Amino acid sequence: MALSGGRITAGVVRVDREVRRPVGPYSAFVHLVLQELERAGFDGAPRFLGIDERGRERLSYLPGWVAPDLAHGDWRDEQLGAAAELVRRFHEALGQSELSRGAETVCHNDLGPCNSIHIDGMPRAFIDWDAAWPGPRIIDLAHAVWRWVIISDTEELPLEEQARRVGLMRDAYGGVDRSGLLDAVVANQDRVIESADSRGDWASSTWHRGERAWFAAHRAAFAHALRP
pLDDT in tens, 167-201: 999 999 998 887 899 999 999 999 999 999 999 99
Q: Which of 1, 35, 5 is nearest to 18 (CA)?
A: 1
Residues 20 and 118 in one domain: no
Distance of CA 222 to the CA centre of its chain: 20
Q: Does residue 4 surpass a pLDDT of 70? A: no
27 and 55 together in one domain: yes
Residue 169 pLDDT: 96
Position 154 scores a pLDDT of 95
Q: Is the pLDDT of residue 3 over 60?
A: no
**Domain range for residue 216?**
72-225
Q: Tell me the per-residue pLDDT of 17-66, one tens digit each, with 9 for 90 and over.
A: 999 999 989 999 999 999 999 999 999 999 999 999 999 999 999 999 99
| Residues 94 and 196 both lie in one domain | yes
176 and 211 housed in the same domain: yes
Same domain (yes/no): 141, 195? yes
Domain count, the chain: 2
Q: Are residues 86 and 178 in the same domain?
A: yes
Indicate whether 5 belongs to any domain: no
Across the range 121-142, mean pLDDT stands at 96
- The overall average pLDDT reported for the chain is 93
Residues 137, 211, single domain; the answer is yes
In a domain, 88, yes or no: yes
Q: Average pLDDT in the 91-111 region?
A: 96
Q: Are residues 26 and 79 in the same domain?
A: no
| Residue 168 is assigned to a structural domain of this protein | yes
For residues 157 and 49, state if they share a domain: no
The verdict on residue 2 lying in a domain is no
- CA separation for the pair 173, 94 (Å, rounded): 16
pLDDT digits (tens, 9 = 90+) for 200-217: 999 999 999 999 999 999
CATH code of 193's domain: 1.10.510.10
Distance CA(204)–CA(193), nearest Å, equals: 8
92 and 133 in a single domain? The answer is yes
